[in-house]
Amino acid sequence: MDKLKPKLFSVMKTYTKEQFVKDIVAGIIVAIIALPLSIALALASGVTPERGLYTAIVAGFIISFLGGSRVQIAGPTAAFATIVAGIVARNGMEGLAIATIMAGVLLIVMGLLKFGRLLRFIPYTITTGFTFGIAVTILIGQIKDFFGLTFETKPIETMEKLEACIEGITTINFQAFIIGVVSLAILIIWPKINNKIPGSLIAVVAAAAMVKLLEMDVNTIGSLYEISSKPPLPQMPQFSLSAIRSLMPDAFTIAVLAGVESLLSCVVADGMVGSKHRSNMELIAQGAGNICSSLFGGIPATGAIARTAANVKNGGRTPIAGMVHAVMLFLILVVLMPYAALIPMPTIAAILFMVAYNMSEWKEFVALVKTSPKSDTLVLVSTFVLTVVFDLVIAIEVGILMAAVLFMKRMADVADVQSWKYIDNDTKDEDMNDSEHIRLKRVPTNTLVYEINGPMFFGAADKFMNISLDSHVKIVILRMRSVPAMDVNALHSLHNVLKACEKKNITVLLSHVQEQPLKMMQKAGFDKQLGKSNFCENIDAALQRAHDLQKSMAQQAS
């Protein structure tokens, strides 16, 4: 059972000094990795650099403290960059804070209602489609800084940014381009030389030194943004009904993204440390972390797979490592944040290029396009295109709607009502291995047996009306051993079948009704309408019941 209890409280029962030392070391290393990433992702999200650190500090600490994973590291991630940038452009930081708080509340409610396992039902085609789409939007958004382009306008949407890049290609700053190429080369080559010190940190230091010492004409964070080393202070945004109404789609998207990405990170981490996370507790922690992050000036946060993996590889095995990572970032904010002004913008762009590439999973995307059925490919490509051309909110809404419609169509296609009134000679041999096969049973005269296969729901409800009611028929048996579930539309169809049979004095028997359909019938009073004696445990009981009824009818007629 998935307990609503933080993992921290469980692991502390057997905590040792040796593990404490390992957690501290891992936390410090992860903080060093998170520093340039948090700043880069904040800038990609359209907010000032320190807000990325606020997020990693506040949300990182709270999610580690309350979370359902032993080793999860939380903070700003690339998945949120485009949607956060859009919210900030339209509604400012006030609107972002409101949307993030609403998303946090949704996550807490989802955790309390035990929705942790339900998030896994979001189709893989949708998550792959919007992940690849987010990677492309991040890449397009960083072309300007990587090449040092000058824009005449301030584009917000991805397609507008791409158009502005094409129009402004003649304004390329070759010094900025050189810094970008050098930074990208370091990011690619350094991990092959030394995987202990993060390549992003080396790239930041080397590029900043080049720009400073060579007096290169390259934009830096300090030349574009006002850097603050003040610790985050709480501030409550002004809520209004109109703001809540307009930001609800964004809040829903943030909540779904945070839930899916954090639980995916937890699953990956479980495989690395041989543990098992508590999904519902993790959702509650994510909700609390996002609420507090927005109150302290941060942006949306979730579990970061790359930082979580770095934590595990460096010996982190308890939530203490994540809390140390947050404390370390707080110290860096207070002491070293002014030096962030020296970081060149092309280096930030190069870091985000690598983030986009690593998260894109383009090989998986291409493989799905080649191997998936056309319907799944349609959902995948549509989600990707909508993410790039419009935004993530529309992409997720349309993607889920398309996936749901396709799923219902598939379920309707497999649902079937088969008559066993006539048995042909083409019955497959494998059917004869089924001891419950109707051909091996003796069906009384004037009796029809219909076997219903698949879920009974509104998409296939019309199929259950295809029941022959000839004048000689006295009893109809509906065999439901292969019906795992039904909805109110299917129950309504059964009502209509029963009414039609009653008009012709035909008795209806139900055989092998499974738990969910039976409960639904009982709740609606259908069992009383049909007669409890007409619910039979299996086909043998139903056939015997039909035989007894036929015998009784014959005696009454005589």
Q: Which residue, 358, 375, 402, sits at the end of a domain?
A: 358
Distance CA 239, CA 283 (A): 24
Same-domain check for residues 182 and 311:
yes
Q: How far apart are CA 451 and CA 417, in angstroms?
A: 6
pLDDT above 80: residue 458? no
Tell me if 134 sits within 8 A of 359, measured CB to CB.
yes
How many angstroms separate the CA atoms of 205 and 336, rounded? Answer: 13
Residue 157: pLDDT band (50, 70, 90) is confident
pTM of the model: 0.73
Least trusted range by pLDDT, from 171-180, 346-355, 405-414, 497-506: 405-414
Where is the domain boundary, 313, 337, 358? 358
- Residue at 378 is within a domain: no
Q: Which residues contact 12 (CB under 8 A, 6 or more apart)?
A: 318
Q: For residues 345 and 431, state if they share a domain.
A: no
Sheet strand arrangement including 447-453: 416-419, 447-453, 475-482, 507-511, 535-536
Residue at 408 is within a domain: no
If asked whether residues 328 and 434 sit together in one domain, one would say no
Within a domain: 237 = yes
pLDDT higher than 50, residue 432: no
157 and 54 in a single domain? The answer is yes
Q: Which of 70-74, 146-150, 305-309, 389-393 has the lowest mean pLDDT?
A: 389-393
- What residues make up the domain containing 463? 416-557
The answer to whether residue 14 scores a pLDDT higher than 70 is yes
Does 153 reside within a domain? yes
Contact status, residue 330 vs residue 120, Cβ threshold 8 Å: no
Do 290 and 435 lie in one domain? The reply is no
The span from the CA of 36 to the CA of 11, in Å, is 30
With bands split at pLDDT 50, 70 and 90, how would you rate the model's confidence at 510?
A: very high
pLDDT digits (tens, 9 = 90+) for 82-127: 889 989 999 999 999 999 999 999 999 999 999 887 766 778 888 8
Taking residues 485-506, what's their average pLDDT? Answer: 85
| Domain's final residue, options 358, 374, 399 | 358
Q: Is the pLDDT of residue 437 over 70?
A: no
Instruction: Please tell me whether residues 421 and 310 are part of one structural domain.
Output: no
Question: Do 455 and 336 have their domain in common?
Answer: no
When the pLDDT of each residue in the chain is averaged and rounded to a whole number, the result is: 87
- Per-residue pLDDT, averaged over 369-390, amounts to 89
Q: Indicate whether 498 pLDDT > 90.
A: no
- 64 falls in which pLDDT band (50, 70, 90)? very high
Q: How confident is residue 427, by pLDDT bands cut at 50, 70 and 90?
A: very low
Same domain, 324 and 190: yes
The domain tally of the chain equals: 2
Over the stretch 197-220, which tens digit does the pLDDT of each residue have? Answer: 888 899 999 999 999 999 999 999
pLDDT of residue 513: 92
User: What does the pLDDT average to over 286-304?
Assistant: 96
Q: Per the domain annotation, does 411 fall within a domain?
A: no
- Does residue 502 fall inside a structural domain? yes
Q: What CATH number is associated with residue 465?
A: 3.30.750.24
**The pLDDT of residue 438:** 52
Asked if the structure places residue 2 within a domain, the reply is: no
Average pLDDT of span 131-136: 88
Contact 279, 116 (CB under 8 A): yes
Are the CB atoms for 308 and 77 separated by under 8 Å?
no
Is 210 part of any domain? yes
In this predicted structure, what is the pLDDT of residue 331? 94
One domain, residues 282 and 422:
no
